Structure 1
Amino acid sequence: MYTDLNRPPLGVDALRRALVGDSPGDDPRAFYSSLDVVAETGSTNADLLARAADTALDRAVLVAEFQGHGRGRHARVWEAPPRSALAVSVLLRMPGLDVARLGWLPLLTGVAVVDALRTVAEVDAKLKWPNDVLIGGRKVAGILAEVAQTAPVPAVVVGVGLNVTLTQDELPVPTATSLALAGAATTYRDTVLRAVLRELAAQWNAWHADGWSTESLAAAYRARCGTIGQPVRVTLPGERVLVGVASDVDEQGRLVVAPDDGGEPVVVSAGDVTHLRPRD
């Protein structure tokens, strides 16, 4: 029994009817083979990674009403009050994909989350490289992909943590936000989750149909990326700092930065990016 009427539990039966098919295929409305909702877990990503040894398991969705040890990039902890957010992970096997392109899956997921939020929540969501989702410059969602195996068929667990009804006092950091705080058209988590998973299915199917080419995917990512054109500070591995203007995301998903010192553009494959104030 739940006591907060503003935070009802997810309707698992309705979600399964909307998203799970007997023979998952190209239809985003029946793309997934299973969908489970648990009251609490440490990490939905970790749970699916543990189950990935079962090679028959594919397109499996796991959602937690409360996630006690959710992980972001660089092992950062992500946690939200029960039923105030969406903590969802999906196990996807990628037949025929070159393992060198596995890093595109979290970026593809970012495109899916942005499109879902723009459509059903009617918010101006944008991507911050590589895979944070922002509204009004504040983080509303983060994405973490972890490789379960690379052979014989690459398998990846991709997780999304999305703030839905968190209040100002409940935000993990001052630079975060939630759909409720952003004035979203809906904060009904079932609606948002359905939209996110359907968009993920549609993006995955399009990528697969394109032979895992990154050309169209890169163009879609660039069109939604708010980092391009922004002054940025990038903290690189080894605590080196790069300051400049983000000029592009290349075909390998790397950020290209034109440094302030006038040197050659720097290609960044890993680093923490901070958007700086636009210059006059």
Structure 2
Amino acid sequence: MVSSAFRLERCPLDEAALRDALGVPRIARLDVGASSNHAPLWRKLDVIASTASTNADVAAAAADGAQEGLVLIAEHQQAGKGRHDRKWISPPHAGLEFSVLLRPRVPMRSWGWLPLLAGIALAQALDVHCPTPVRLKWPNDLLLGVAPRKTAGILATMVPKPDPAIVVGIGVNVNTEPAELPSVQATSLGIESGRAVDRAAVLLDLLSQLEAWYERWQCHDADANACGMREVYRQRCHTLGKRVTLRLLNGSSLVGQAIDVDGTGRLMVANDSDLVPVAAGDVIKVG
């Protein structure tokens, strides 16, 4: 039985406190010219009561020339989406729904690793807030518990013009109660830990991990092997070593053994006759 204290402790996020914790007011005044490689990443943070989609809002800001490091958090999303336009629904003040704006200094052909990078950062951030195992489901879901259930999702949106950018949206079930979850295959940090969880602490830990991995990845010229990201992802990935069924973008299905994640972030699947690299798809069955 989950305590009703989760609902009682659903307080709004304190925008000023979050900005202070990240040093955003100071960061916003920095010159982003020659010293940008050494400046903190997060330059602007806004908390809004409600919006249709933080990804759409940040993508529009990117198209208007917004600087890298924008963080937009919504206490409620009216039309939040995951991959393949699936709805992401969460009660106000129960979870975290936010998007960040990145403008990587590496070739765009390497940007496919960014959703996986965000997954690693999220998993490591949640380690300190959850007593149960934290695992990743390729390519963009985070699972909690001994019998893993979905707790978070990641959606990356490309903004090609005028200057290429990528928006990474993250949704986390923090203090969501069982009756509020979309299915029995979902869970929340509160459910797994048996207590209400501080959303602000989770957010700050995640942004810290995301910044660290993002800079490490860029400093190694987006080489997932050299920066250690590929090995960390392999260790966290619940999908690897299991028989999986994938729905591919063309509507077809692929069944086989998930063998590895390659240097570009593709899932390597061994079927009856071949080793198939999958750059984009949906794992609809594991085991």
TM over 0.5: yes
Q: Hey, what does 1:148 align to over in structure 2? A: 159
Q: What's the counterpart of residue 13 of structure 2?
A: 10
8 Å Cα contact 1:122/1:184 also seen in 2:
no
Match of 1:237 among 249, 266, 269: 249
Picking from 86, 93, 111, the partner of 1:76 is: 86
The equivalent of 1:129 in structure 2 is 138
1:244-255 alignment runs, 5 A limit? 244-255=256-267
Matching of residues 82-161 of structure 1 within 5 Å: 82-95=92-105, 97-136=106-145, 137-149=148-160, 152=163, 154-161=164-171
Alignment partner of 1:89: what SS? Answer: strand
Contact 1:121 1:185 in 2 (8 A): no
How much has 1:87 moved relative to structure 2? 0.2
Q: TM-score, normalised by structure 2?
A: 0.87
Q: Secondary structure at the match of 1:248?
A: strand
Q: The residue matched to 1:244 in structure 2 has which SS?
A: strand
Q: Distance in 2 between matches of 1:142 and 1:114?
A: 11
State the distance in 1 between where 2:250 and 2:100 align.
32
Partner amino acid for 1:226? H
Residues paired across the two proteins, number: 269
Secondary structure of the structure 1 residue equivalent to 2:230: helix
List aligned pairs for 1:1-280, cutoff 5 A. 5-21=8-24, 22-23=26-27, 30-95=40-105, 97-136=106-145, 137-149=148-160, 152=163, 154-183=164-193, 187-215=197-225, 216-259=228-271, 262-277=272-287
Identical pairs, percent = 43
| Secondary structure of residue in 2 paired with 1:78 | coil
Q: Structure 2: give runs of 5+ residues left out of the alignment.
A: 1-6, 31-35
Tell me, what secondary structure is at the counterpart of 2:280? coil
Which letter maps to 1:51?
Answer: A
Give the AA of the match of 1:236: L
129-138 or 266-275: bigger deviation: 266-275
For 2:150 and 2:193, the matched residues in 1 are separated by 14
Q: CA deviation at 1:166?
A: 1.1
SS in 2 for 1:68: coil
Contact 1:127 1:227 in 2 (8 A): yes
**Cα RMSD after superposing both structures:** 2.0
Q: TM-score, normalised by structure 1?
A: 0.90
**Following TM superposition, by how much is the alpha carbon of 1:31 offset from its aligned partner in structure 2, in angstroms?**
2.9
The answer (yes or no) to whether the contact 1:167–1:181 under 8 Å persists in 2 is yes
Kindly state the Cα deviation for residue 233 of structure 1 after the two structures are TM-superposed. 1.1
Q: Name structure 1 gaps, 5 residues minimum.
A: none
